Each structure stands twice: as C-alpha cells, then as structure tokens.
Amino acid sequence: MSRIVNLGVLVSGSGSNLQSIIDRVETGSLPAAIRIVVSNNPAAFALERARKHGIPATVIAHEGFANREDYDRRLVETLNAHGVELVVLAGFMRVLSPFFLRAFPMRVMNIHPALLPSFPGTHGQRKAFDYGVKFSGCTVHFADEGVDTGPVIIQAVVPVYDADTEETLSQRILREEHRIYPQAIRLYAEGKLRVEGRKVRVLDHPQPDGSPRHNPPVTDF
Ligand code: GRF
C-alpha cells in the first residue's frame, strides 16, 4: 500500500507536466497531493492551471534576492511551510544550489527532454534533432548538484523520423514526459525506488520487454 506523498511543484512556464500530475492526482491513480506550486515567473501559465484546480500557487521572483542561496532559502522555507516531502521540478528554469539540495536529499526530481546523459541543459530536443540521432526521448532523474546529472529513475524512447521538425519531435517527447513523470512519482510514493550510488533500483515492478528497436528498421536480407 502506498501513502500520500506531499508534493511541491516548481515551474516556470506552460506547466503541461504539472497538468499531467494534477490529472492523475484527481483521478486517484497517483497517491500524492500537490501542496504548493511555486513559479519564478509571474507570467507562467502553470500558475493558472494550479489555481483552476484549487492548488495553492505562489510566485517567488528572483528580483530582490542578493544571490542564489538567498533565493533558495526562501524556496525551502515556502516548501517546508506547506509540508512538502518531494520536490518536483516541472520546467523550472533555475539551477538549484547545494543549499537547496541538502534540504531535500534525494527528494528532488527533474524531467529532461532527452535521453540523459545526452543533450543536457536547455533545448534538449533541439540538440538531439540537430545532432541527427535516430532515437531521443525523456528522462526523469533525481537532481544532484550538476545540471541534469543525477541518478536516472525512468526513461522513455521515441523515434526520430526523417520528416520530423524540432517541433514534431518535441511534441512526441512531451507526450511521453506526461506519462513517465507521474509514473516516477508513483514509484516513489510506493517506496519502490532505491538509490544505490548512481543507480536507481526499481523494486517489484515489471521488467521492460527485451525486444531491441532499430531506426531505420533492420529488414530481412
Ligand atoms: C519540458 O519539456 C521539460 O522536459 C523541460 O521543460 C519543459 C516544461 O514543459 N524541463 P511544461 O512547462 O511542463 O509544459
């Protein structure tokens, strides 16, 4: 049996990943409660999504803070004041300080729109598209002090087609983001994630099917 995990979701933009989490909380398929949504960007559409669903949402803009640690201190205070256990980064466009990460050790998740460790940083979809890879995807990982470097929890792979544009590839990746982020949170809530060094072991969960995938397909000859 899983318990209800109290989430704090940090956002900066559209909040479609936030929406995918809200939807699964509301249907009861994700044993979590979103206690607070925090945006560094007052114009983030994610704030409206939260408010529409009756979730407390607040803006902490970076203006007015002398340095990153002061900003992060305010973030930690806000999350703690709402009883947050797991911090979910959902398109939050700031790098978190070691101070913040120490406050939530292995309790900060991030989603990245590429198959890490390839194409970290901003514009992961564009970097993969421009590189010409035949598969890309997305990754949910625990955050550590690097940029997109922490232990990997779950990944989804999507093909890149010749006819793709950066936009069509990004949409294909985003659809999978909306599936793997709630899944990662659910595994956490169920106590099924064991972090062992760089590796995250997933307990009591089906194995992936072992069939390899090729792009372009390997034909009989
Ligand atoms: C996603 O592509 C996510 O992988 C990246 O930022 C984007 C956020 O999208 N970290 P949204 O705000 O959840 O719609």
Between the CA of 92 and the centroid of ligand 1 the distance, in Å, is 8
If you average pLDDT over every residue of the chain, what do you get?
97
Query: 120 in ligand 1 pocket by Cβ < 6 Å?
Result: no
Name residue 1's amino acid: M
- Specify which residues 11 forms β-bridges with: 39, 90
pLDDT of res. 220 = 86
Kindly list the distances between the CA atom of residue 25 and the CA atoms of 9, 19, 103, 174, 183, in Å, as whole numbers in the listed order. Answer: 13, 10, 25, 19, 12
Cα–Cα distance for residue pair 48/65, rounded to 1 Å: 25
Query: 182 in ligand 1 pocket by Cβ < 6 Å?
Result: no
- Please confirm, yes or no, whether 112 is among the known catalytic residues: yes
pLDDT at 196 over 70: yes
Q: Which fold has domain 111-202?
A: Rossmann fold (3.40.50)
Between the CA of 150 and the centroid of ligand 1 the distance, in Å, is 17
Tens-place pLDDT, residues 83-92: 999 999 999 9
Residue 221: pLDDT band by 50, 70, 90 thresholds? confident
Domains of the chain, residue spans: 1-105, 111-202
Which class for 62: exposed (0-12), middle (13-18), buried (19 or more C-beta within 10 A)? exposed
Cα–Cα distance for residue pair 33/220, rounded to 1 Å: 51
In the three-class reduction of DSSP (H, G, I as helix; E, B as strand; rest coil), residue 93 is classed as coil
pLDDT at 1 over 70: no
pLDDT of res. 64 = 86
137: closest CA among 119, 164, 110? 119
Tens-place pLDDT, residues 169-188: 999 999 999 999 999 999 99
Contact, 90 vs 14, CB < 8 A?
A: no
Q: Which fold has domain 1-105?
A: Rossmann fold (3.40.50)
Q: What percent of the chain has pLDDT over 90?
A: 95
Residues 6+ apart with CB under 8 A from 141: 109, 110, 112, 116, 148, 150, 151, 152, 153
Residue 2: pLDDT band by 50, 70, 90 thresholds? low
CA atoms within a 13 Å half-sphere pointing along the CA-CB vector of 189: 23
Q: Ligand 1, residues 10, 11, 12, 16: which to mutate, most atoms within 8 A of Cβ?
A: 16
Cα–Cα distance for residue pair 142/129, rounded to 1 Å: 25
